[in-house]
Amino acid sequence: MRFLHTADWHVGKNLNGFDLLADQQNVFKQIEGIAQDKKVDAVVIAGDLYDRSIPSEAAVHQLNQELYQLNLVDHLPILAISGNHDSATRLGTGADWFARESFYLNTTLEEAFQPVTIGDTEFFLLPYFGIQAVRNCFGDDKIRDINTAMARIVAEMQKNFNPDKHHVLMAHFFAAGSERTADSETTIEVGGLSAVATTTLAPFDYVALGHLHNRNALHDERVRYSGSPIKFSVSEADQEKGVWIVDTAPFKAEWVPLKPAHDIHKLKGSFEQLIAESSQQPQDDFYDVELTDHERIPDVLNKLREHYPKIISLHRTHEARQIAVDHSQTRRKQSPTELLADFYQQTMGIDMTAQQAKWAADALTAINKED
């Protein structure tokens, strides 16, 4: 069989204050098109479907529509797990009904051990988990680290392996290649958090990972990150985004790139150069700007924004401190009441009513009085 491997959609994420929903919808349509062109038998989404545990109503609406389109209109089986950004409980709403239409969404460790079989392959859907959940699941308080936990989980999954099938694991964690010494395994740390050694995942023919946004975070034929479908920060500016098309007989993975609706560019130059070159740059893209000028230019960010409206960061070559840029930086001058109104608007997708605003103002006044 053949499946499409993607992850880390982070629906509802914004980029330094800029709403990405339209860009995310654009890339979803590309993924849908690839799934159809490549005639895949399933779409695998390895966690972080949403950007936060309580996504905005607009984000909920968009992801609902996308999953509806893939599963009920295009009739594509979907396999999905919750990531660390998702609320397992909230995301899991409806999963028992979804499964009846070949949309398999798993958000609990307890349900990770029974595979979903599609064609010649058994898929094990392991959501993001904490060590305590593994201790509870096996009734074993001695499980202390992620590799011990994963070894137990994998052993439990292997009990249910049908030897006539291929075996694919879907998971959402840090994984890293392992360096073995004679009789001990080095603990591997990525960004201060311990990582799962790829050797622990040896029983699987393919591991479809989510969590890291760079598909090159790991160099392994068998254990792969798809990365996110679009760039979510300046640190991702140089990454090519895409999806894996994975064949199971024999196993091979083909990389299919995705085209960003609005790319992130890094620019470096003097104020004068940047202004002069601006007409050749796409107006609607995002920019990280490094200014090489020695002298201070008053109100430089606003001046640059007349030419590059979507600047997301600004540095100076000759000044150590980065100038923090956030589209939403006006917040700093907002009152707590305005902040709350903003939070409400972003979470609910609608403005507070006059009555709600009054309640909020009264409550905040009351808090300040009591301090």
Site membership for a second copy, residue 328 (CB under 8 A)? no
The Cα–Cα gap between 240 and 214 comes to: 8
Instruction: Name the segment binding a second copy (CB under 8 A); options: 30-38, 59-67, 254-262, 272-280.
Output: 59-67
Binds a second copy (CB under 8 A): choice among 22, 33, 72, 177? 72
Residues 6+ apart with CB under 8 A from 322: 313, 314, 315
Asked if residue 45 lies in contact with residue 80, where contact means CB atoms within 8 angstroms, the answer is yes
Burial 171-200 (b: 16+ CB within 10 A, else e): bbbbbbebeeeeeeeeebebeeebbbbbeb
Instruction: Name the segment binding a second copy (CB under 8 A); options: 61-69, 110-118, 185-193, 312-320.
Output: 61-69
Site membership for a second copy, residue 192 (CB under 8 A)? no
User: Where in 333-352 is the site for a second copy (CB under 8 A)?
Assistant: 333, 335-336, 339, 347-349
Q: Which is nearer to a second copy, 101 or 284 (CB)?
A: 101
Instruction: Name the segment binding a second copy (CB under 8 A); options: 11-19, 57-65, 260-268, 309-317.
Output: 57-65
Name which of 168, 170, 203, 197 is nearest 184 in CA terms.
197
The Cα–Cα gap between 157 and 290 comes to: 50
Site membership for a second copy, residue 324 (CB under 8 A)? no
Instruction: Name the segment binding a second copy (CB under 8 A); options: 133-141, 158-166, 267-275, 329-337.
Output: 329-337
Binds a second copy (CB under 8 A): choice among 14, 87, 194, 199? 87
Shortest distance, position 70 Cβ to a second copy, whole Å: 12
Binds a second copy (CB under 8 A): choice among 38, 90, 135, 265? 90
Strands, sheet with 319-323, edge to edge from the N-terminal-most edge strand: 264-269, 286-291, 311-316, 319-323
Residues 6+ apart with CB under 8 A from 368: none
Site membership for a second copy, residue 127 (CB under 8 A)? no
The Cα–Cα gap between 242 and 236 comes to: 13
Binds a second copy (CB under 8 A): choice among 60, 133, 253, 357? 60
347: phi then psi, degrees, rounded to nearest 5 = -80, -40
Name residue 319's beta-bridge partners: 316
Site membership for a second copy, residue 75 (CB under 8 A)? no
The two tokens of residue 181 are 């010494």
Residues contributing to the site for a second copy (CB under 8 A): 53-54, 57, 60-61, 64, 68, 72, 87, 89-90, 92-94, 96-98, 100-101, 103, 332-333, 335-336, 339, 347-349, 366-367, 370-371
